[in-house]
Amino acid sequence: GDAELQAGRYAQAADNYGKVGAQLDALRASMADRLASALGAGDAALAANDGPTARHNFNLALAIAPLNERGQQGMVRARVLEQVLDLIAAGAGHESHDELDAAKAKYAAALALDGRSLQASAAHDSVTGRIRDREFNAAMSVALAALDRGEFAATRAALTRADGVRPGTPEVADVGRRLQIAVQHSRIDALRSQAKVLEGDEHWSQAGDRYAAVLAIDSKAAFARAGRERSLARARIHAELDAYLAAPGRLSASGPRDNARQLLSVTAGLDANTEPKLAAKAERLAGALEIAETPLQLRLQSDNLTDVTVYKVGRFGRFASRDLVLLPGNYVAVGTRSGYRDVRVEFTLTGGQEHPDITVRCQEKI
């Protein structure tokens, strides 16, 4: 075109310039297709693990469009493809020998070079899953072995580890239920043993507490229901015995004496060899009851002028001296005399003791 123009052949020059423009337009139109083709070929080569072909095609793409992001990323991946493949192969070798942690490290290194490598990502995920399975199975084995040995804290710790590796699995839930049942049974066995020891020592209230604790765990435990009833009954007997022994003076009244006799009839049916403390208390109460039911000699002194009455015993009129036979207890004697102030004398008769004479005389004139 330029030569024709210089030679003055203007029409021919114009024609040649037109042809060149058309060729440039055609070239520009084909660049997009050529870029897409090069990028596609590069990606396909990467997928086929063909590094040289991938690099060649990404070079073509970048020659067409140097700033193309896909081409730049593809070239970066293509340049390290062989290293990535070597790391994946090394990881697979470790994995074949069950060296899972080493394999995971290789796959992680491959991903560090090419984070978009599907092969490295799949291998890394797979070995990570195998490691989790290994850790889960190991933790479950420890949990089951510890449960068989009755080591509940170790069982619980191992289950926690297993649940941390694979949360919410039915295996962990099942062993957790077995652990809960085992802990309950162990607690019940311990409470039952404690209750038996306490019963043997005749600590009935404390034994009843142990049986109540069992029932709080398992309300259907028949042995605990029977044991609690037995313990409460014995505790009541001991409490009644203790009350009489602490205040034997109560036996001076007929009502408490009758109750004491009924209590002794109950204790008579119990085995003194297995309950020596109860037997000793019953023996002491029987002795106190015998004393309370043994009449005592008492002499009343007066002046033949005073009318004497002993409440709940009788009217004795006037006398100088009078002997009475009374059961131990509290008494009130009253003296009356015309023209004189009444007198009131309260006295207590204690079993097994001698008592001084009781004087009842009205001596203060009104």
pLDDT band at 24 (very low <50, low <70, confident <90, very high): very low
pLDDT tens profile 306-365: 999 999 999 999 999 999 999 998 899 999 999 999 999 999 998 888 889 999 999 999
Q: Which helix (H) or strand (E) holds 46?
A: helix 10-47
Which of these ranges, 4-18, 95-109, 122-136, has the smallest mean pLDDT? 4-18
β-pair type (321-326, 314-317): unpaired
**How far out from the chain centre does Cα 275 lie?**
37
Q: Is the dihedral of CA 118, 121, 127, 129 positive or negative?
A: negative
CATH code linked to domain 83-168: 1.25.40
pLDDT band at 26 (very low <50, low <70, confident <90, very high): low
Q: Mean of the per-residue pLDDT values for the chain?
A: 92
Q: What angle do CA 356, 357, 360 make, to 5 degrees?
A: 140
Q: Residue with structure tokens 């440039």? A: 24
Looking from the CA of 62 toward its CB, the CA atoms found within 13 Å total 16
CA distances (Å), origin 82, targets 53, 94, 103, 275, 331: 12, 18, 18, 89, 119
List the beta strands (DSSP E) in 216-289. none
Domain positions in the chain = 2-79, 83-168, 187-292, 296-359
| Whether residue 18 has pLDDT greater than 70 | no
